[in-house]
Amino acid sequence: MNTIANNLAGRVAVITGASSGMGRATALLLASRGAKVALLARRKEALDAIAGEIRQLGGEALALATDVTDQASVEAAAAAVRQQLGNADLVFNNAGLMLPGAIGAQPQKEWESQIDLNVTGAMRVIQAFIPQLEAAAAQGKVVDLINTSSIAGQYVYGYFAVYSATKAFVSHLTRHLRLELGPKNIRVSVIEPGITETELQSHFTFQGAIDWLENASKSIDFLKAEDIAQTVGFIVSMPKHVNMQQIVVMPTKEGI
């Protein structure tokens, strides 16, 4: 990000999971195109660093330590966005957790936490920001709600049952939300990435998945977080009447 462009000037973007990976990359890209960005994640220090980087380049950023598994935390973040930046008109609902494991053997905390974050957390964000998106749409603004799912929501992968199920929820939820929100001029999209180099894999505890990932990296050039950021940038740059409902982004060699 070298200069601030203006094609997203006047837009207020909220990014969850903004402290690293796809969220961080997307925050930097949207800010580089002129959007005011609200950075939501649990790690305040990391958010402050990203916000500082954006401000140094002439952008506007708001760092909000937020835990999407906590209702009060999400509601406080939504109130802060409205008060300090105005109504959000772009929400990148991106916070997520991936912990593969064998059914019957995976610790309860691991499968529960994926549901709490990927399903309930995603819904908390949607519910908290829908009033702002509706208000922005009523003013005639371009409005986007973009959910991060995964190719795992479409296909079957051994030991990824819970994660894949949570992402199937996100993908199908997005289709239903389009039915409800489209008539209100709110575009709703879902991005389903294949293998992407992010912090998610560093949380794996299941050795089988760790070994598989290491072997896959020898033959596949994984997606980068910046690739997903560019996809978000593409979605929000479409004319107001165009809704990119579902975009699958895959490494060229994955699944071959």
Q: What Cα–Cα distance (Å) separates residue 167 from each residue in 69, 178, 245?
A: 16, 17, 15
* Alpha-carbon gap, residue 55 to 126, rounded angstroms: 27
Q: What Cα–Cα distance (Å) separates residue 144 from each residue in 52, 97, 115, 149?
A: 25, 23, 24, 16
3-state secondary structure 60-99: CEEEEECCCCCHHHHHHHHHHHHHHCCCCCEEEECCCCCC
Query: Which amino acid, 162?
Result: V
Catalytic residue among 155, 157, 159, 163: 163
If you search the block for the tokens 């950075």, which residue do you land on? 39
Secondary structure element (H or E) that encloses residue 229, with its range: helix 225-237
Please, which residues have CB within 8 angstroms of residue 55's CB and are 6 or more apart in sequence?
61
Please, which residues have CB within 8 angstroms of residue 239's CB and are 6 or more apart in sequence?
none
Under a CB-based contact definition with an 8 Å cutoff, are residues 147 and 189 in contact? yes
For this structure, is 163 an active site residue?
Answer: yes
- Which residues are known catalytic residues? 163
